Amino acid sequence: MTRAVRLPLAQLAAGGRFELPGWPGLEVRRLTAAETRGEGRALYLLVAGELLVDLPDGRYLHLRPGEAADVDGAHALSPIEEAVVLEWKPSS
C-alpha cells in the first residue's frame, strides 16, 4: 500500500524547528534572527519569506520562496524579517 503524508511545512516550523521523522538531517526551521553556521554542506529550500545566505568572502545569495541554495563551508543565514526554510544536512 502506498503511504502519503501531507507536510504543512510553515505550520510545522511554527515552534521554531521541526525534524522530519524518518529523514535524517532534514528539518524545517522558522528563522527570525541571523544564525552563523560552521563548516559542512547544507541544502536550503526557502518555503516562506526571504533569506540571505551570507558567505565569508562578502558574497551572498538572496533566496525567495521556491528557491534553493547548496552551500558547502562556513556561512550565515539572515532572514529578512522572518523566513521558513527546509534544511538538509547530508551525513558524511
Domains, the chain, with CATH or none: 26-88 (2.60.120.10)
Q: Which of residues 38 and 89 earns the better pLDDT score?
A: 89
In Å, how far are 3, 11, 20 from 6, measured between CA atoms? 10, 11, 12
Residue 78 grid cell: 539572515
Question: Model pTM?
Answer: 0.89
Q: State pLDDT tens for residues 44-79.
A: 999 999 999 999 889 999 999 999 999 999 999 999
92 pLDDT tier (thresholds 50, 70, 90) = low
Cα(75)–Cα(73) distance, integer angstroms: 6
What DSSP string runs through 60-76? EEEE-TT-EEEEESSEE
Query: What's the gap between Cα 54 and its chain centre?
Result: 13
